[in-house]
Chains A and B, each alone.
Chain A
Amino acid sequence: MILDTATAIAWVSRAAELVRTDEPRLTRLDAEIGDGDHGANLTRGLLAAVVDIDEKTPDSAAKTLITAGRALISKTGGASGPLYGNGFRQFGKELRDEGDVTAVADALEAMLRGIEELGGALHGDKTMVDALAPAVAAFQEAARSTSDLHTAAVNATKAAEAGLAETIPMQARKGRASYLGKRSIGHEDPGAASTVLILRALAEVTAP
C-alpha cells in the first residue's frame, strides 16, 4: 500500500473527525495547564483543511497535505496552527507526490523537524514533540521490516500513546503550560494528546 491522494484526503478528514469528537477532552486538558482552547482551535483548523482540500482538489498526496498545512496555518491560530500547519507542509514537501512506507517514514521525520524547528521544543519539554518523536522513531523502525503502511502507522500510534503518558510527570518548559512551573506536573499535554489522534487517523485510513 502507498500513501496516495485518496488516502491523504481520508487521513485529513479522519483526523478532523477524531479531533472534533475529542474536542471536549482536548479542551479540558488544555484548561488544566493552558488556556482551554486547543480542542476548539484544532477542530476549526482541520475542518477548514477538509473544506480547502475539497475545493482545491489537489492531485497528489503531497499537494493534499501541503493544502492541509496551509489551511491549518491560516485558520487555527494559537501555537498549534503554525506548528501542525508547518508539520503537514513539511510532510507534503518531503513526500513530493505519493509514497510507500519508507517515503512516509521520511515525510513523518520532516514533519517532526518542521515542528521542532518552528517551536524550538525538544523531547521532554511536555509538548506535541513528546508524542510525535517516539512515533516517528517507531514508524521508521517498522519501515525497516515491513512494507505495510498500516502496521507502521499502528506502531507509531502506540508509541505516541506511550509518549503522551510520559508527558504526565513532566514539567512543561515550552508553551503556556511552562508558566505554571511545577504545577504543570501531573497532567497530560494537550498537544501530545492531539498528536495521538492525528496518528491514529493515519492508522485507521491505512487499514486493509
Chain B
Amino acid sequence: MKKLINSPDTVIPDALRGVAAAHPGLAVDIENRIISRAERATSKVGLVSGGGSGHEPLHGGYVGHGMLDAAAPGEVYTSPVPDQIIAATQAADSGQGVLHIVKNYTGDVLNFRMAAELAEDEDIRVVSVVTNDDVAVEDSTFTAGRRGTGGTIVVEKVAGAAAEEGADLDTVAQLATEVNERSRSFGIALHAGTVPAAGKPGFDLAENEIELGVGIHGEPGRERGEIAPVRDLVAYALDAIHADRPISGDVLVIMNGHGGTPLIELYGAYAEADEWLNGHGITVARSLVGNYITSLDQAGFSITVTSLTDELARLWDAPVSTPALRWGM
C-alpha cells in the first residue's frame, strides 16, 4: 500500500483538519467527528447525513447552504456511532425538526435508528429517509435490501433546497422519498479501493477482469466480467437501470468516479451515456461528471439516473454552496 497518509490510525482526524483549514464556512469538530455549517441556520428543517468515511466528498463535502446542515463521518467504510449522529442532529436542529438521510446499509440504518430514538428523548423531531437506489442488488427478502449509492446526492440536494425555502419536515421528507424512488444507480469497478487500516485492496481482479454491480465499500459486485470498451460497459449499466425502472422524459445523470479513475475516462463514459440515452429518446436535462461518491481509490464508475419533474429540476437548480457542489450564489 502506498498512500499519502501519516498513519492508518490518523487518516480521519488528519483529513478533518484539512477540511477545517480549507473551508472556513464549515465548523469541524475533530474530536467528535462532526462537520457542520459554521453559520447555523436559525429556522429551517435541519438535514443530517453520514456514513463511513472514504466516500468523499460524501457527506462532509455536501454541508453548506442548500444541502446538509451537518454530517457525521464514521471510520473508513464504517457507519458513524449514535453519539456522533446525535451531536450532528443537535448541530442541525433549529426547532423545525431534522431529516436523517441514511444510505441502506445495516450498520448505518441501525446506528441512525438508535440516534433518532435518543434525539427524540431530547425533544428533537427526527424523520429518516433511507436511500436504496442501487439496482445491482435484488430487493427481496433474501438481502438486506438495496444499497444507497449515488442517488443519495440528489436526495440531499433536492431536500436541502426545499428546506432552504422553508418547507416543513414532512414536506422535505416526502420530497427526499420521491427523489429516492425516482433514482437508480449501477456501478462497475476495474479494481478495488484500499482501506488504509487493511493495507490491501478489498478484492483482487486480474488485468482483464472487472466487477459488475459494485457498491461503494469495496465489496465485490453481483458478477465478474471481462473488460470491454467503455461503450459496452456504459450500455450494460444503463440496461440494468432501464430494466429496473424504465427511463423516460427528462433525466438527471451523474457519471460518478469511484476515486481512482481520471476525468478523461469519465467524460468518455459520459459521452457514451449521453448517446445511449438520446438514442432511447430520453432528454438529459441535467448532468454531473466527476467524483461525487467515491470508494477510496477504487477505479471505475457508477451511473445514477433520476427521472425529473419540473419541481425536482427547479430544486436541483436552486443555489447551493458546499465544498463539492456550488452554483447559483
Question: Residues on A close to B: CB < 8 A?
Answer: 27, 31, 33-37, 40-41, 44, 73-83, 118-119, 171, 173-176, 178-181, 183
Most B CB contacts (10 A, CB to CB) among A81, A118, A174, A183 go to: A81
A144 → chain B closest CB, angstroms = 34
Q: Which residues of B contact A82 (CB under 8 A)?
A: 82, 107, 110-111, 114
A35 in contact with B144 (CB, 8 Å): no
B110 in contact with A76 (CB, 8 Å): no
**Once bound together, how far apart are the Cα atoms of A183 and B75, in whole Å?**
26
Of the stretches B194-202, B230-238, B252-260, the one at the interface is: B194-202
Could you count the A-B residue pairs with CB atoms below 8 Å apart for me: how many are there?
102
A8 → chain B closest CB, angstroms = 23
**A-B residue pairs in contact (CB < 8 Å), sample of 17:** A36-B195, A36-B218, A40-B75, A73-B114, A75-B81, A77-B78, A77-B107, A79-B107, A83-B110, A119-B106, A173-B141, A173-B143, A176-B219, A178-B142, A179-B137, A179-B219, A180-B219
**Once bound together, how far apart are the Cα atoms of A40 and B143, in whole Å?**
25
Instruction: Rank and list the top 4 A-B pairs by shortest CB-CB distance, nearest first.
Output: A178-B143, A78-B107, A79-B107, A35-B217
**Contact A81 to B138, CB < 8 A, known contacts A31-B198, A73-B81:** no
Q: Which residues of A contact B78 (CB under 8 A)?
A: 37, 41, 77-78
A179 in contact with B215 (CB, 8 Å): yes
A35-B202, A179-B144 are known; give 7 further A-B pairs, CB within 8 A: A74-B81, A77-B75, A78-B74, A82-B110, A179-B147, A180-B219, A180-B220
**Contact A40 to B197, CB < 8 A, known contacts A173-B142, A180-B219:** yes
**Once bound together, how far apart are the Cα atoms of A74 and B80, in whole Å?**
9
B220 in contact with A79 (CB, 8 Å): no
**Contact A37 to B197, CB < 8 A, known contacts A81-B107, A118-B110, A176-B106:** yes
Q: Which residues of B contact A77 (CB under 8 A)?
A: 74-75, 78-81, 107, 111
A35 in contact with B81 (CB, 8 Å): no
Q: Which residues of B contact A180 (CB under 8 A)?
A: 219-220, 222
Contact of B202 (CB < 8 Å), options: A36, A75, A80, A119: A36
A37 in contact with B77 (CB, 8 Å): yes
Let me know if B250 is at the binding interface, CB within 8 A: no
Q: Which residues of A contact B105 (CB under 8 A)?
A: 79, 176
Q: Which residues of A contact B137 (CB under 8 A)?
A: 179
B267 → chain A closest CB, angstroms = 29
Let me know if B76 is at the binding interface, CB within 8 A: yes
* A174, closest chain B residue (CB): B144
Q: Which residues of A contact B219 (CB under 8 A)?
A: 33-35, 176, 179-180
Let me know if B209 is at the binding interface, CB within 8 A: no
Interface string of B134-146 (1 = CB under 8 A from A): 0011100111100
Q: Which residues of B contact A76 (CB under 8 A)?
A: 81
* B80, closest chain A residue (CB): A77
Contact of A81 (CB < 8 Å), options: B81, B144, B218, B220: B81
Q: Which residues of A contact B82 (CB under 8 A)?
A: 73-74, 82
**Once bound together, how far apart are the Cα atoms of A76 and B222, in whole Å?**
28
Q: Which residues of A contact B274 (CB under 8 A)?
A: none
Let me know if B83 is at the binding interface, CB within 8 A: yes
**Once bound together, how far apart are the Cα atoms of A73 and B117, in whole Å?**
14
Q: Which residues of B contact A44 (CB under 8 A)?
A: 75
A37 in contact with B81 (CB, 8 Å): no
Q: Which residues of B contact A119 (CB under 8 A)?
A: 106, 110
A176 in contact with B217 (CB, 8 Å): yes
Q: Which residues of A contact B111 (CB under 8 A)?
A: 77, 81-82
**Once bound together, how far apart are the Cα atoms of A41 and B81, in whole Å?**
11
Contact of A183 (CB < 8 Å), options: B81, B197, B220: B220
Interface string of B54-85 (1 = CB under 8 A from A): 00000000000000000000111111111100
